[in-house]
Structure 1
Amino acid sequence: MDANLERQGEEKLRLRMLPDIFPSMFIGLSKRNDKEMDSKATMNQRCAVKKQMAPNAREVISHIALNNIENVKSPITRRYGAKTSTSTTEIQTIDASNNLPVMFPSDKQEALRMLALKPATKKPVACGFSEKSNPEIDEIDLPDVFNHLAVVEYVQDLYTFYKQQQHVGRPTDYMDKQPHINPKMRAILVDWITDVHFRYNLLPETLYLTIYIIDRYLSLDGVKRLQLVGMCSLLIACKYEELRAPRVNDLMDIAFNKYTREEILGMEKTILNKLEWYLTVPTAYMFLVRFVKVAKADQELEHMIYFLAELGLMQYDLIKYCPSIVAASAVYTACCTLGKSRLWTNALERHTSFSEPQLLECARVLVKAHWTAPGSNLKVVYNKYMLQQFGGVARYPPAMSLIEA
């Protein structure tokens, strides 16, 4: 009788349906188990097929080297310059297949010399951009020629695409449509989110994407519980940008259990449906990273640029400007604040597509925000950039010459 019960239990387990969620994942797991059970003869047969497909031994070595990269200690993120570590043997194998020395040039002339050694390869057409067999690399990208994560061959096309896409799905002036909120309430919410973002040590991309989600949702729907929208926008941005997003319980604790778990998850679903899950947008931070590099900013200037840009997140008046002009204005205002000899170079004008007079109106908003920050009740950004780790750049007097002009 016990044997019959065991047999019936096995039959029930065998008839159990696979879950509907992520069916491809379960199929992939089953395929992986089948591969692990292959015999040595099957592996030899696969190697023979590979040799037939790639008769060139040098190409086979290159594929093996690329497929065997291990020991990755830090994840690849969207931020330029993310580092991965591989074994020395693998790096030498990859570089040997390209006949290139194993080094990363920091000198301009050395980068040019090494770039000449690299054979011109025909690149496939992607994303509607024209094919480039010998791409022209800008001077500021020469030190990153062999940093594959910097994609110097495509970076100009990428930012051309970003400048086009920044106008798609932009937030609009929504305060007239919101009877329950005003610009002051929005500034309080952004100040609170900046505080949470800094305490949790989240990525800068997360902060800028959070503010975009808030403004975009407020442009589409009326809101009464603004803090709930801010919490859910932060949760969505963390899930999109971070490796380890804060849990719902953490957000509930931050808000002193003002909202239940069901309310948070329900609002999260509502926001995503309103935005049609469109989250891959060029925020101001994407342009800031590029413009800081073009400006050849030292650490002090870089901190000042990000300080002014974060102050700009609280200013509702800047919502009418596209992200690229806000980022360019932050660079220009920072140069004026620190008294740089050349405020707006030809390289900055070429890469930003804005001249100095086009930035004045937006820059004045940033200067006023800097001027009122010390006496304001919303001082999270100001106190943050008074810290030594950010060079204490908030202590500099604002560039009042821009307002006087």
Structure 2
Amino acid sequence: MERISDENNPNLTKPTNFQGCRKFGQEIKHNRRALSVINHNLVGAKAYPCVVNKRGLSQRNECIENKQLDPVHRPITRKFAAQISSTSQRHCPEQETKKLKPSVPSSNEFGDCIFIDVEENKTSLDQPVPMFLEETEVEMEDIIIEEPIVDIDGCDTKNPLAVVEYVEDLHAYYKNMEKFSCVSPNYMDQQSDVNEKMRAILIDWLIEVHDKFDLMGETLFLTVNLIDRFLSQQTVMRKKLQLVGLVAMLLACKYEEVSVPIVGDLILISDKAYSRKEVLEMERLMLNTLQFNMSFPTPYVFMKRFLKAAQSDKKLELLSFFLIELALVEYEMLKFQPSLLAAAAIYTAQCSLNGYKQWSKTCEWHSSYTEDQLL
């Protein structure tokens, strides 16, 4: 860009006391140099970087009135600096006046204005990061990729035992019916000779019996459900509590197992504490008390579904069932629904094995429990 001379603009008025600027302009009239080199030639001044010089409006007006403004500290806007570095064409006074904003001093205010071509050295200047790049980084950080919900039944479409067409309806029914299978968490208050510690001892013993006979997992959970429902409706003496547990396991085996243990085996496992007649009488009493309602969902059916949603391996499955069996022994767990206990057991097992909290959107979708509810 070339220096705008007085001959091209006859209407330009020159200040009488602005000699320093004219002398400086005459020295570089035929020598176009980079801005950083010119700054080094200034007397008593350090290299001045090409940045915005923010000066108050009152200070700027005072300098304009006194006509003593230093050409080095002229206020330069970012737009004005960009125009200087991006073009090397000749500017007419009329066009330059139209491009300048009111806040930028014009050539009429400063007399002879000197335009310096810094195109060759613009890469070495310390320019601030463009605003649109900073906004782009913020927008990329704010983008949250939602976790997709996995179709856990897609791989079992050809398996008739998986009943893919009805599995969602089945678990919706289980979810609706589990509230009827729950008993009062304070039912031990009506028992005069039995307490929660005796219940824990009985269930712990039945877990060993269940393992001894190599029974299915559904049988154990249904056994505990029958015991709690029966004790919540019938008063039992302490010496009959073990008989209640044996008969509840016998009924659960008849409902779940293919091969059912005979009554004689149950008598032997109890060290012949009860006779065959007592076992059959307790079986009849329990069925009449429960009104033959044995098709209530237990934590087991929810465990199998939620483990499938969690895409579990053998280690996670074993630890989850270990935790839910510990919950069977605890009387205080009766206040929670079976589906919540199953989801909490799997979530606890995941946190224990992985070392961090993990509850995927797929698990949340199929269990209908969020991470906050499980905590």
Structure 1 residue 258: deviation in Å?
0.8
Report the TM-score when normalising by structure 2.
0.58
Partner residue in 1 for 2:218: 205
What amino acid is the match of 2:234? Answer: D
Structure 1 residue 302: deviation in Å?
0.9
- Within the candidate set 196, 209, 216, 1:196 is matched to 209
- Within the candidate set 181, 185, 189, 2:198 is matched to 185
CA distance in 2, matches of 1:150, 1:138: 17
SS of residue matched to 1:338: helix
- Seen in structure 2, the aligned counterparts of structure 1 residues 263 and 289 have a Cα distance that, compared at 3 Å, is same
- Within the candidate set 356, 362, 371, 1:347 is matched to 362
Partner residue in 1 for 2:228: 215
- Seen in structure 2, the aligned counterparts of structure 1 residues 150 and 293 have a Cα distance that, compared at 3 Å, is same
Matches within 5 A, 1:221-300: 221-224=234-237, 225-300=240-315
Partner residue in 1 for 2:324: 309
SS of residue matched to 1:140: coil
Identity in percent: 47
SS of residue matched to 2:179: coil
Runs of 4+ residues deviating >4 angstroms = none
Q: Deviations over 1:124-151 (max 9, x none)?
A: xxxxxxxxxxxxx961111101101101
- Seen in structure 2, the aligned counterparts of structure 1 residues 138 and 146 have a Cα distance that, compared at 3 Å, is farther
Partner residue in 1 for 2:109: none
CA distance in 2, matches of 1:216, 1:144: 35
Q: Which has the higher contact order (CA 8 A, sep 6+)?
A: 2
Q: Deviations over 1:99-130 (max 9, x none)?
A: xxxxxxxxxxxxxxxxxxxxxxxxxxxxxxxx
- Within the candidate set 358, 365, 386, 2:373 is matched to 358
Maintained 8 Å contact 2:150/2:362 = no
What amino acid is the match of 1:226? Answer: L
CA distance in 2, matches of 1:359, 1:180: 35
- Within the candidate set 157, 160, 172, 2:169 is matched to 157
CA distance in 1, matches of 2:203, 2:150: 37
Structure 1 residue 339: deviation in Å?
2.2
Structure 1 residue 171: deviation in Å?
1.8
What amino acid is the match of 1:242? Answer: E
RMSD of aligned C-alpha atoms? Answer: 1.3
Structure 1 residue 179: deviation in Å?
1.3
Structure 1 residue 336: deviation in Å?
1.2
Report the TM-score when normalising by structure 1.
0.54
SS of residue matched to 1:234: helix
1:147 has 2:159 as partner:
yes
Q: Deviations over 1:345-380 (max 9, x none)?
A: 1111111111112112xxxxxxxxxxxxxxxxxxxx
What amino acid is the match of 2:178? Answer: Q
Count, aligned residues: 224
- Seen in structure 2, the aligned counterparts of structure 1 residues 315 and 193 have a Cα distance that, compared at 3 Å, is same
Structure 1 residue 223: deviation in Å?
0.8
What amino acid is the match of 2:261? Answer: P
CA distance in 2, matches of 1:242, 1:153: 25
What amino acid is the match of 2:248? Answer: S
Maintained 8 Å contact 2:156/2:162 = yes
Structure 1 residue 172: deviation in Å?
1.6
Residue segments in structure 1 that go unaligned for 5+ positions in a row: 1-136, 361-405
